[in-house]
Amino acid sequence: MKYRSLLWDWSGTLVDDLPPTLYATNAVLEKFGVAPMGREEFRRRFRLPYPEFYEDVLPGVPIVDLEDTFRSAFSESPEGVTVLPHAREMLEWCQERGIRCFILSSMDRGIFYKQLGEFGLAGYFESIYAGVIDKRDRIGEILDTHQLDRSTTAFIGDMAHDLHTAKHGGVDSVAVATGYDPVDRLSANDPTHLFDHLSDFRKWLEGSA
């Protein structure tokens, strides 16, 4: 098996939270008098680290002034968060094979832990790093702390920032087309692998030496 440890992004990779994220983003924009975005405009413009996105759409507004509005709108969104197809099965499969799993996510820690508990997924992860604004700043330390061999570790994510983070940490990157960034943006950012969804990644991993 090619990989013995996997770092996971959360949103867009293991769960689909695009509808409530878009709803909450539009609540923030509305509060500051900016027109709401449709789903495709949001996917085109949103990027991590997310302070860069907000600097684009709401220049000069401090992030702390947005967070309360975002959090409460997120929880009031008519559409909730769902576990992505194949995600739970993939995590179970990793657990059965002793593949060590970690979370590295930018998501607000309060929102993240609520979802982790509600979906009953906590037991699949050895350690969790949530609320990380720039994942590049943390990946090296995480690999070192847990003594993960870089040649048998990959970071799985749905955004260009995840691919940059993997490269920064010296590990392979696995892009999945189930989340925020369009496929053309993912492929333009040089992923080690690009899969439609986690079932395809698992099949590839099963066949890997």
Binding site for Mg ion (CB under 5 A): 9, 11-12, 158
CB nearer to Mg ion: pick between 18 and 66: 18
Q: 3-class SS at 46?
A: coil
Write down the least CB distance from residue 182 to Mg ion, Å: 13
- Asked if 94 and 124 count as a contact pair (C-beta separation under 8 A), the reply is yes
- Helix and strand element counts for the chain (H, E): 10, 8
Tell me 192's DSSP state.
S
CB nearer to Mg ion: pick between 26 and 165: 165
CB nearer to Mg ion: pick between 57 and 177: 177
127-129 and 193-195 as β-strands: parallel, antiparallel, unpaired?
unpaired
Write down the least CB distance from residue 124 to Mg ion, Å: 17
Write down the least CB distance from residue 158 to Mg ion, Å: 4
Bridge partners (DSSP) of residue 15 are: 11, 83
Give the residue nearest to Mg ion (CB): 12
193-195 and 172-176 as β-strands: parallel, antiparallel, unpaired?
parallel
Write down the least CB distance from residue 39 to Mg ion, Å: 16
Amino acid found at 176? V
CB nearer to Mg ion: pick between 9 and 172: 9
